[in-house]
Amino acid sequence: MVMHKKAETALAFDFGLKQIGVAFGQTITSQAHGIKILNAKNGIPNWREIEGLIEKWGPTILIVGLPIDMNNMESRITMAAKKFAVKLNKKFKQPVKLVDEKLSSREAKYQARETSKSVNLARVDHLAAALILQTYLNHPESAMLI
């Protein structure tokens, strides 16, 4: 089991231009679960909706998945995710960490398919956010503070 310096609660975001998955987890049990999919327009969410989630769940840290390709190259979506993370930090005055999210969406779709044959594979971003958060909970040293 990974030991964190202090107990943390976290909201994680699987950033996308049309949808942003959200997950909640904490370091006491090191478990994460998807809670919501937010609509976004060109990567811009309803910030009041995020504010409501922060008020409801009371995270001590925010995690944003960083989409880097298999060759460790950054793309336009990588830059947009970084911009989203910076905006989260500025708006909500909370620490934000970036976590490599390689293959999280693909894994979320695979897991969803395994548990339900009728799942809408376009709506699994909250599960991808949970995988991103689980990566952080298991390996906090791999996250980058913005």
Write out pLDDT tens, residues 95-133: 999 998 865 555 545 554 555 555 544 456 888 899 899
pLDDT value for 5:
65
pLDDT value for 53:
98
pLDDT value for 103:
52
pLDDT value for 127:
85
Choosing among 3.30.420.140, 3.50.50.60, 2.60.40.10, 3.30.420.40, the CATH entry for 9-145 is 3.30.420.140
Q: Measured between alpha carbons, how far is residue 20 from residues 64, 88, 117, 124 in Å?
A: 10, 13, 23, 10
CB 138 within 8 A of CB 31: no
pLDDT value for 7:
86
DSSP, residue by residue, the chain: -PPPSS--EEEEEE--SSEEEEEEEETTTTEEEEEEEEEEETTEE-HHHHHHHHHHH--SEEEEEE---TTS---HHHHHHHHHHHHHHHHH---EEEEE-TTHHHHHHHHHHHH-TT--TTS-HHHHHHHHHHHHHH-GGG-EE-
What global pTM score does this model have?
0.84
Among 1, 7, 12, CA closest to 132: 12
- Any residues with CB less than 8 A from the CB of 109 and at least 6 apart, and which? 121, 124
pLDDT value for 4:
55
CA torsion, ordered 14, 103, 33, 80, to nearest 10 deg:
-10
Q: Beta 9-14 vs 61-66: how paired, if at all? A: parallel
Ranges under pLDDT 70 in the chain: 1-5, 70, 72, 102-124
pLDDT value for 16:
93
pLDDT value for 120:
47
pLDDT value for 6:
77
